Amino acid sequence: MSEELKQKWLLENNWIWNIPVYSSNTKENWLLIWIDKKHIKENELFYQYCLTWSIDWYAWKLFVRNQNNANNEQKDEFYFTINNHCGILIPRVDNLDLHFVELILQNKFFEKSKWYWNNKLWNNQINDIDISIPLDKNWNFDLDKQKEIAEKYEKIEKLKNNLIQELEELEKIKVEI
């Protein structure tokens, strides 16, 4: 994506307005800044229900974008763009729960990025990633099953985080004899 979509450049040229620019910024779900729509190239303006990820730093971290736009409506409220530090995955099929896909891909992206010296993860580095998506009896993607699995992943993640927190608390305890 456009190299010119950098915060300093946007501020200097007074391009700030109402369309989010996602990047590798680790604050606010990778939001870099807001830009005026008229300064975005048509092929770099997105509105779809999709996934984005930071290409560098936390390359493995994915985000679901436009969860409320499963019908992919082109409305101002859904528009966003990305700069050259952000990747985007737009589904080409229906009946995908992107939260499920996010949870499945998260670990795969992490595994991929840790093998590169700079921890970057470009589009060409994810081409060989496969994931299994549950099917219904008619061989269509099973949306309900995806949501059920995503809920289980979230429960496991919460348990893991609670255990880590408890271990950190135990580590702080000092016993004197």
Higher pLDDT, 57 or 94: 94
Please tell me the predicted confidence (pLDDT) of residue 4. Answer: 46
| Residue 16, pLDDT above cutoff 70 | no
Mean pLDDT value of segment 6-26: 71
Average pLDDT over residues 20-37: 80
Q: Show the 3-state SS of the chain.
A: CCCCCCHHHHHHCCCCCCEEEECCCCCHHHEEEEECHHHCCHHHCECCCEEEEECCCCCCCEEEECCCCCCCCCCHHHCEEECCCEEEECCCCCCCCHHHHHHHHHHHHHHHHCCCCCCCCCHHHCCCCCCCCCECCCCCECHHHHHHHHHHHHHHHHHHHHHHHHHHHHHHCCCCC
CATH no. of 7-134:
3.90.220.20
Report the range of poorest mean pLDDT among 11-15, 18-22, 45-49, 155-159. 11-15
- Band of the pLDDT at 1, cuts 50, 70, 90? very low
Q: Does the model's pTM come out above 0.85?
A: no
- Domain residue extents for the chain: 7-134
